[in-house]
């Protein structure tokens, strides 16, 4: 798993076409980004101009302080277009302030403009990413951690946001300063410029070598951080199990081991960054010292004017800073491109054709409930060597109640998941009313079903919202009626806030039986054509079970129902009982008939696996 995350976050240049898909998000803002590029270009030129004016300011000051010789700085054709006296310290000062004011205004405009466009892009991207995730088939979630998927919508999108908000604009600005600065330096002194440029190859080679190690360590650190976050998420999600098994110390040890790896990797990265920084400082300051020495020599021989020398020094520092910063911007760009690639690859995964908005609303369907499984075989995609269903043939006639019984792992819940099309059979057919499940619009099909799972997980809102999840347009009266039928109304009203009571994360503030009754109320509110109950009464006490069973009997009347249960009270009322063993149906019939056969069903009852 760790290898998979690392590969996803590492950008591969051969997959450049994947990144080009960002064009769909950039296209609506093309003119805005074009204006932004113009603003950045002007800002870069103004930065060079300010540096030149600082040099002029120093040159004029130096010339004015001379007792003998030149009374002012030599005129410079590069600044002739300016309507200012460039031998006046005051006028140069005002000119610098004007240029800085313009640059500040352009900088503010650029930041706001890029932020507005990027936020609009990220809004669309976050929506598309989340839509992609919730549209994935259940098999997609079988092989992926929730923490990794959450990272796609949060961390990856944030990395992409940083690229379009700051990285690209800074990269462009620094390139303009480097190119424009080098051209200006050549104008002032070819000798000094060539001397300065001679140091660049050494810096570039050092940046590549150091950067390669630093980048690898950075990726490994990010992966380890993601792994530690997954540990936190898994621990908090399963906090009940952690507490009940008194495994706090083990979870802490697992987390501490992970964060120690983070520290170790981070320290290695710090050592390499420190070594690189020290090398750059030593080399850059050594090069600047050499340039100053040579420039001073040229000034003494009259080969270089003082204002040009000051400008050259300032501009050399500016260009050197931009060259040093461009490596960091390039690394940030590569991280962002890797995030784009990772996100786009996930969004390219095969999806279910489900309804996620009104624009792709599917045609409603009405089901009679004639369900047929014909010679169905199934295994999970990531466990092809483990057969789950072996030639299942079963029919649920319209309005019929069929119970599935058998030991754990016999394949009961898998049959329910195939009916919901969480998975598709490896071979064989599943149909409703003579129509293969694949031919139904998926969202429309599921909207005519109600599913009450064995492990009920409620959403973190209030009780009303959780019941209304079965049908969002339900009125308060309908929600209350569903709660009454599910034997939930009384305990809901016992809470001070009634239906407005918050259930907590995953419904932890309610008991298991209360959560089960909320789920049953949700199913009752759905008013489905086909009902699937997976141990729907397993968490209820005897008294509550009796009342809920009456509600379920009313709900199941006239509806095809597939019931997975162990309790005789649920099974006895079934029209047909199918006994499963190792993925096959070994017996089928009514309760009394199966007991009379003295076979697998009787053994289950005798061993209290059904009872």
| SS3 label, residue 529 | coil
Looking at residue 402, what is its pLDDT? 93
Residue 374: the pLDDT is: 94
- Residue 560 per-residue DSSP state: E
CA distance 309 to 304: 7
Is the distance from CB of 426 to CB of 375 less than 8 angstroms? no
The answer to whether 167 and 329 have CB atoms below 8 angstroms apart is: yes
| Burial of residue 495, with CB atoms counted within 10 A of its CB: 0-12 exposed, 13-18 middle, 19 or more buried | middle
Pair type for strands 449-452 and 530-534: parallel
Joined together, the tokens standing for residue 338 give 């890797």
Would you state the structure tokens that stand for residue 144, as one six-digit string?
A: 């992926």
Q: What is the pTM of this model?
A: 0.72
Q: Which residues of the chain have pLDDT under 70?
A: 1-19, 58-82, 84-86, 204, 303, 356-363, 505-508, 538-540, 544, 608-611
Domain boundaries, the chain: 1-189+335-352, 190-303
Distance, CA of 386 to CA of 220 (rounded, Å): 34
DSSP per residue, 26-57: HGGGHHHHHHHHHHHHHHHHHHHHHHHHHHHH
Residue 398 has what pLDDT?
A: 92
CATH topology of domain 1-189+335-352: ABC transporter transmembrane region fold (1.20.1560)
Asked if 507 and 472 count as a contact pair (C-beta separation under 8 A), the reply is: no
Element (H, E) at 534: strand 530-534
Q: How far apart are CA 432 and CA 370, in angstroms?
A: 5
Q: Which residues contact 191 (CB under 8 A, 6 or more apart)?
A: 294, 298
d(CA 130, CA 205): 42
Among residues 251, 222, 250, 256, which one has the least CA distance to residue 236? 251
């Amino acid at each position: 798993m760790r290898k998979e995350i690392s590969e996803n976050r590492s950008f591969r240049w051969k997959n450049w076409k994947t990144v080009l898909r960002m064009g769909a998000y950039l296209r609506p803002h093309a003119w805005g980004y074009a204006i932004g590029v113009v603003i950045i270009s002007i800002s870069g030129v103004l930065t060079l101009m300010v540096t030149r004016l600082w040099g002029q300011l120093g040159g004029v000051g130096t010339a004015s302080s001379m007792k003998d010789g030149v009374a002012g700085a030599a005129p410079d054709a590069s600044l002739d277009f300016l309507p200012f006296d460039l031998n006046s310290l005051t006028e140069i000062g005002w000119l610098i302030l004007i240029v800085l004011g313009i640059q500040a205004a352009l900088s503010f405009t650029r930041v706001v403009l890029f932020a507005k466009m990027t936020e609009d892009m990220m809004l669309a991207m976050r929506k598309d990413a989340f839509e992609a995730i919730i549209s994935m088939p259940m098999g997609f979630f079988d092989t992926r951690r929730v923490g990794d998927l959450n990272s796609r919508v949060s961390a990856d999108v944030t990395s992409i946001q940083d690229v379009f908000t700051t990285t690209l604009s800074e990269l462009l600005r620094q390139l303009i300063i480097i190119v424009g600065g080098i051209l200006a330096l050549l104008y002032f002194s070819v000798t000094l410029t060539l001397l300065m440029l001679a140091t660049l190859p050494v810096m570039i080679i050092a940046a590549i070598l150091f950067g390669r190690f630093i980048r690898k360590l950075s990726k490994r650190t990010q992966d380890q951080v993601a792994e530690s976050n997954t540990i936190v998420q898994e621990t908090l999600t399963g906090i009940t199990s952690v507490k009940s098994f008194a495994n706090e110390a083990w979870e802490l040890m697992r987390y501490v081991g992970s964060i120690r790896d983070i520290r170790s990797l981070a320290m290695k990265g710090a050592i390499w960054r420190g070594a690189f920084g020290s090398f750059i400082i030593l080399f850059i300051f050594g090069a600047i010292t050499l340039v100053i020495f040579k420039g001073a020599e040229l000034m003494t021989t009259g080969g270089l004017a003082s204002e040009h020398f000051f400008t050259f020094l300032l501009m050399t520092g500016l260009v050197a800073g931009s060259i040093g910063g461009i490596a960091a911007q390039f690394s940030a760009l590569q991280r962002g491109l890797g995030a784009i690639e990772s996100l786009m690859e996930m969004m390219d995964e095969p999806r279910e054709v489900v309804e996620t908005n009104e624009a792709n609303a599917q045609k409603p369907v009405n089901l009679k409930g004639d369900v047929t499984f014909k010679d169905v075989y199934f295994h999970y995609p990531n466990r092809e060597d483990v057969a789950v269903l072996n030639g299942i043939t079963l029919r649920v006639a319209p309005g019929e109640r069929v119970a599935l019984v058998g030991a754990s792992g016999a394949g009961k819940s898998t049959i329910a998941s195939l009916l919901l099309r969480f998975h598709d059979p490896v071979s064989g057919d599943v149909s409703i009313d003579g129509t293969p499940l694949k031919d139904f619009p998926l969202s429309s099909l599921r909207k005519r079903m109600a599913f009450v799972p064995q492990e009920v997980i409620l959403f973190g809102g209030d009780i009303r919202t959780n019941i209304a999840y079965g049908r969002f347009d339900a009125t308060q009266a309908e929600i209350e009626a569903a709660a009454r039928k599910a034997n939930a109304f009384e305990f809901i009203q016992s809470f001070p806030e009634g239906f407005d009571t918050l259930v907590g994360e995953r419904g932890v503030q309610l008991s298991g039986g209360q959560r089960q009754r909320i789920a049953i109320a949700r199913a009752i509110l759905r008013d489905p054509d086909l009902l699937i109950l997976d141990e729907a009464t397993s968490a209820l006490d005897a008294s509550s079970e009796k009342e809920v069973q009456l509600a379920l009997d009313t709900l199941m009347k006239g509806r095809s129902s597939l019931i997975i249960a162990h309790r005789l009270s649920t099974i006895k009322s079934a029209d047909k009982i199918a006994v499963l063993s190792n993925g096959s149906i070994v017996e089928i019939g009514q309760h009394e008939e199966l007991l009379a056969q003295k076979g697998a069903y009787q053994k289950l009852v005798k061993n209290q696996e059904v009872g």
